[in-house]
């Protein structure tokens, strides 16, 4: 058995960042920017008013001074002329500042009669002008790689870049295995249960930039498993669920090996998740998850999400950990790194009593996986403990 760190490194060795594609801005949210975006223009492209009011030369802006209104500058329709001493231009937010002006007096500080304005005795500070290029100038970039946020897309749009080069979405084939499984909504036989794992994993994959494709459930025989593997041959990542352990009906490893899977490792010093396997099958990376529902989700957080990030060109790093204060003492841990369902509230971590890897209800209450290192000694309440937010 290998450690979690060695298993993750072995998975990273199997994974290469995927190629790129161009997508329109409107479809780019959450995608991974693969090439930096570079501005070729100024924003704003001219000095612009930040308020509705009157543009004038700031040195003349004395309390109660009077000015002639000689024109108007609105957003999309600037004022072409020159503004001289004693003159001003009616101006609106976003409009170009006319030549000869450098300050906007907000209209609340102005009394207007016909074409004459009088400034108030006490003036708002101003100048309420956004200099040309205040937001960005040619050559400014949105660096890559990054997960495109709503703000990034608005910025790229302002830079007049209509399409972005992003990393192709990893296609993940999810292959549930087991004679006991039926799909949600079907009528299970007396010895059957509902296939749940692929739904949690699909959500996890898609929240992390992948495209998950659920294959039909494979039965516990070689022919059915082979057929399912064949359906997965175009995937970047094949994720099997179940059939990974040592029982007579656990055939995933054998069938994959018969189909040419080059195994990288099998069995990891962790709890839950011990029977994890990984390797290369044709052009795809294969990760074989244990079938116990919580084991498959824990391995999803610990291995699948970092593998997706590596495929997306976001680097090779373990899922980021945080730390919190133990709310209650814990006993010594065994020889496997233990990922324990827990809740973190106000920086206090409470580990649930029940840690059976079949209990999804406990997972659904958890917002963290507390991490007990292998052979970690007993710890008192108040000690710090690492966890993965989930
Ligand atoms: N003698 C030993 N037995 C077991 C060992 C061991 O080391 N020696 N390891 C145990 C551990 S740890 C795990 S984890 C399980 C993993 O076994 P498999 O990967 O072979 O999983 P299955 O036997 O197929 O299923 C286990 C459990 O999970 C249910 N399951 C499977 N797939 C799904 C699904 N898609 N949705 C919902 N539930 C699923 C399945 O019905 C079983 O109850 O092996 C231990 N045994
Ligand atoms: O490792 Mo199993 O995944 O403990 O339940």
> Do 333 and 289 fall into the same domain?
no
**For the domain that residue 366 is a member of, what is the CATH number?**
2.40.340.10
Task: Quote the CA–CA distance of 170 and 6 in Å, as a whole number.
Answer: 23
Q: Reduce the DSSP state of residue 370 to 3 states and report it.
A: strand
CA of 66 to the centre of ligand 1 (A): 85
Q: How far is CA 292 from CA 22, 92, 125, in A?
A: 39, 64, 66
> Do 89 and 56 fall into the same domain?
yes
Q: Of the residues 244, 278, 311, which one is the last residue of a structural domain?
A: 311
CA of 358 to the centre of ligand 2 (A): 9
Q: What is the mean pLDDT of the chain?
A: 97
Does residue 11 fall inside a structural domain? Answer: yes
> Do 27 and 162 fall into the same domain?
yes
> Do 59 and 191 fall into the same domain?
no
Q: How far is CA 376 from CA 1, 103, 272, 302, 336, in A?
A: 18, 66, 16, 19, 9
Residue pLDDT, tens place only, 258-301: 999 999 999 999 999 999 999 999 999 999 999 999 999 999 99
Q: Of the residues 167, 190, 214, which one is the last residue of a structural domain?
A: 167
CA of 177 to the centre of ligand 1 (A): 10
Instruction: Region of 383 please: left (phi>0), alpha (psi -120 to 50) or beta.
Output: beta
Contact 30, 324 (CB under 8 A): no
Q: Which atom of ligand 2 is nearest to the CA of 290?
A: 3
Does residue 259 fall inside a structural domain? Answer: yes
Q: Which atom of ligand 2 is nearest to the CA of 357?
A: 5
**Ligand number with the minimum distance to the CA of 293:** 1
> Do 174 and 299 fall into the same domain?
yes
* Domain coverage including residue 213: 4-17+168-311
Per the structure, the count of domains in the chain is 4
Does residue 317 fall inside a structural domain? Answer: no
Q: How much is the pTM?
A: 0.92
Task: Quote the CA–CA distance of 196 and 98 in Å, as a whole number.
Answer: 65
**Short-list 291, 152, 154, 273, CA closest to 218:** 291
Does residue 29 fall inside a structural domain? Answer: yes
Q: Which of 245, 271, 356 has the most ligand 2 atoms within 8 A of CB, as the residue to mutate?
A: 271
Does residue 364 fall inside a structural domain? Answer: yes
**For the domain that residue 31 is a member of, what is the CATH number?**
3.90.105.10
CA of 221 to the centre of ligand 1 (A): 16
Which protein residue has the closest C-alpha to ligand 2 atom 4?
A: 272
- Give the per-residue pLDDT at 126: 86
CB of 300 within 6 A of ligand 1: the answer is: no
Contact 349, 325 (CB under 8 A): yes
**Ligand number with the minimum distance to the CA of 268:** 2
Q: Reduce the DSSP state of residue 13 to 3 states and report it.
A: helix
Q: How far is CA 286 from CA 69, 101, 175, in A?
A: 73, 66, 11
Q: Which residue has the tokens 């009906």?
A: 249
**For the domain that residue 56 is a member of, what is the CATH number?**
2.170.190.11
Residue 38 β-bridge partners: 141
> Do 159 and 234 fall into the same domain?
no
Task: Quote the CA–CA distance of 257 and 250 in Å, as a whole number.
Answer: 13
The order of strands in the sheet holding 146-147 is: 20-24, 163-167, 32-33, 146-147
Q: Which atom of ligand 1 is nearest to the CA of 177?
A: 32
> Do 99 and 139 fall into the same domain?
no
**Ligand number with the minimum distance to the CA of 184:** 1
Q: 350: part of which helix (H) or strand (E)?
A: strand 348-351
Does residue 245 fall inside a structural domain? Answer: yes
> Do 300 and 228 fall into the same domain?
yes
CA of 296 to the centre of ligand 1 (A): 9
CA of 247 to the centre of ligand 1 (A): 9
Tell me the Cα Rg of the chain: 31
CA of 186 to the centre of ligand 2 (A): 27
CB of 292 within 6 A of ligand 2: the answer is: yes
Does residue 316 fall inside a structural domain? Answer: no
> Do 82 and 175 fall into the same domain?
no
Split the chain (390 residues) into runs of 10 and give each run's mean pLDDT. 97 98 98 97 97 98 97 97 98 98 98 98 94 98 98 98 98 97 97 98 98 97 97 96 90 96 97 97 96 98 98 98 98 97 98 97 98 97 98
- Give the per-residue pLDDT at 185: 97
Residue pLDDT, tens place only, 103-116: 999 999 999 999 99
Does residue 278 fall inside a structural domain? Answer: yes
**Short-list 93, 86, 95, 94, CA closest to 115:** 86
> Do 207 and 288 fall into the same domain?
yes
Q: Of the residues 279, 311, 343, which one is the last residue of a structural domain?
A: 311
**Short-list 390, 388, 387, 385, CA closest to 327:** 385
CA of 8 to the centre of ligand 2 (A): 17
**Ligand number with the minimum distance to the CA of 253:** 1
**Short-list 351, 345, 347, CA closest to 369:** 351
> Do 126 and 142 fall into the same domain?
no
> Do 183 and 258 fall into the same domain?
yes
CB of 167 within 6 A of ligand 1: the answer is: no
């Amino acid at each position: 058995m290998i450690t979690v760190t060695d298993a993750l490194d072995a998975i990273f060795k199997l994974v290469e960042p995927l190629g790129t594609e161009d997508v329109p801005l409107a479809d780019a949210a959450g995608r991974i920017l693969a090439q930096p975006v570079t501005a070729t223009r100024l924003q704003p492209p001219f000095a612009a008013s930040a308020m509705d009011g009157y543009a004038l030369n700031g040195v003349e802006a004395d309390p109660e001074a009077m000015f002639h209104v000689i024109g108007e500058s609105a957003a999309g329709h600037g004022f072409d002329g020159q503004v001289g001493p004693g003159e001003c231009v009616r101006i609106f937010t976003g409009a170009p500042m006319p030549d000869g002006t450098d300050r906007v007096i907000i209209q609340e500080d102005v009394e207007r009669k016909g074409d004459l304005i009088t400034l108030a005795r006490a003036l708002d500070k101003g100048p309420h002008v956004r200099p040309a290029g205040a937001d960005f100038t040619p050559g400014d970039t949105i660096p890559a790689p990054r997960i495109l946020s709503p703000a990034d897309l608005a910025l790229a749009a302002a830079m007049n870049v209509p399409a972005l080069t992003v990393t192709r979405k990893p296609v993940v084939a999810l292959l549930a295995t087991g004679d006991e499984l039926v799909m949600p909504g079907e009528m299970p036989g007396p010895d059957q249960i509902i296939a749940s794992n692929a739904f949690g994993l699909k959500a996890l994959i898609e929240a992390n930039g992948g495209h998950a494709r659920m294959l039909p459930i494979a039965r516990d025989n070689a022919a059915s498993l082979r057929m399912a593997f064949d359906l997965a041959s175009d995937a970047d990542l094949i994720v099997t669920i179940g059939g990974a352990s040592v029982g007579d009906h656990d055939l995933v490893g054998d069938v994959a090996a018969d189909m040419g899977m080059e195994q990288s490792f099998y069995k990891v010093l962790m709890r839950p998740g011990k029977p994890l396997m990984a390797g290369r099958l044709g052009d795809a990376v294969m990760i074989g998850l244990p079938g116990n529902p919580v084991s498959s989700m824990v391995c999803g957080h610990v291995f699948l999400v970092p593998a997706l990030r590596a495929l997306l060109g976001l680097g090779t790093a373990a899922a980021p950990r945080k730390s919190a204060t133990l709310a209650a003492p814990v006993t010594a841990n065994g020889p496997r790194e233990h990922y324990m369902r827990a809740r973190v509230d106000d920086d206090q971590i409470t580990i649930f009593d029940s840690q059976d890897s079949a209990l999804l209800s406990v997972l659904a209450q958890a917002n963290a996986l507390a991490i007990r290192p292998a052979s970690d000694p007993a710890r008192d309440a108040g000690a710090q403990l690492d966890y993965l937010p989930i």
